[in-house]
Amino acid sequence: MARTIAIANQKGGVGKTTSSINLAASLAAMKKRVLLVDMDPQGNATMGSGVDKHGIERSVYDVLVHRAPVHLITQRAPEGGFDVLPANSDLTAAEVELLDIEHKERRLRTALQEVAGLYDYILVDCPPSLNMLTLNALVAADGVLIAMQCEYFALEGLSALVSTINRIGESVNLPLRIEGILRTLYDPRNSLTNDVSAQLHGHFGDLVYRTVVPRNVRLAEAPSHGLPAMYYDRHSRGAKAYMALAGEVIRREEKRQQESQQPVTSD
């Protein structure tokens, strides 16, 4: 069964989409079966995976609103080694169209159950707000990967997001948890970066990934070629960082599974 990870932060420009695409490609390179779900009407994860958002007939919008089967809409990323459930501006309408529907926040969760056996990881790229689309992503997820830039107001935004995650977990009665906290656009020469990093470790301990994603121009260039960074410049620091992150994600999962299999001892 797939582990579903939502990549979220209500702030834009923090590297959610870059992380979604490159983590998908890196997990795929490690022989994992991966589906990347684009939940942002901007369709950046779709385009950055090499799927033309203008050329698709149906998208995640049809999955959410018309219950179209996921496997009929999914496309293969031309060079990424993973599948994409694409999005485009049609998705903007979903929020309004879902308004009167019962269990509207569970639409994505229900839809993804159909393909859970086909993948090891389902990554969901969230839009930069806490709207109905993000709510659907969070409800569908087993864990949330928070992408964040180590800057001054980042921690404030983070506590809002963490309380939202906790509230959602309680309200839908699902064990939603923080999968990990990823520091993106990382610049160690900036002293603020180190301060924020230290605070993150203080608050979240081991949830903070050891891997940091440096500011790297290759990561910014690759999407315009419709490629994950590892297929654009595999020696780039950005591509290597996301390979390291994929290793960490897999090791955490293995550890979790081992722990859940350990016999419970009394006294």
What is the binding site for Mg ion (CB under 5 A)? 16-17
18 binds ligand ADP, rule: CB under 6 A: yes
What mask of x and - would describe binding to ligand ADP in positions 222 to 251, judged by CB under 6 A? -x--------------x-------------
Give the span between the Cα atoms of 70 and 85, in whole angstroms: 7
Q: Hey, is 264 helix, strand or coil?
A: coil
Q: Which of 4, 44, 74, 164 binds ligand ADP (CB under 6 A)?
A: 44
Main-chain phi, psi angles of 41, to 5 degrees: -55, -15
**In angstroms, what is the minimal distance from the CB of 35 to ligand ADP?**
18
Task: Give me the half-sphere count of Cα atoms (radius 13 Å) on the Cβ side of residue 238.
Answer: 24
Q: Which of 1, 12, 171, 256 binds ligand ADP (CB under 6 A)?
A: 12
188 binds ligand ADP, rule: CB under 6 A: no
**In angstroms, what is the minimal distance from the CB of 234 to ligand ADP?**
16
Give the span between the Cα atoms of 90 and 109, in whole angstroms: 20
14: partner contacted, choices Mg ion, ligand ADP, none (Cβ within 5-8 A by kind): ligand ADP
Torsion 132-51-5-235 (CA) sign: negative
149: partner contacted, choices ligand ADP, Mg ion, none (Cβ within 5-8 A by kind): none
For the beta carbon of residue 118, count every other beta carbon within 10 angstroms.
15
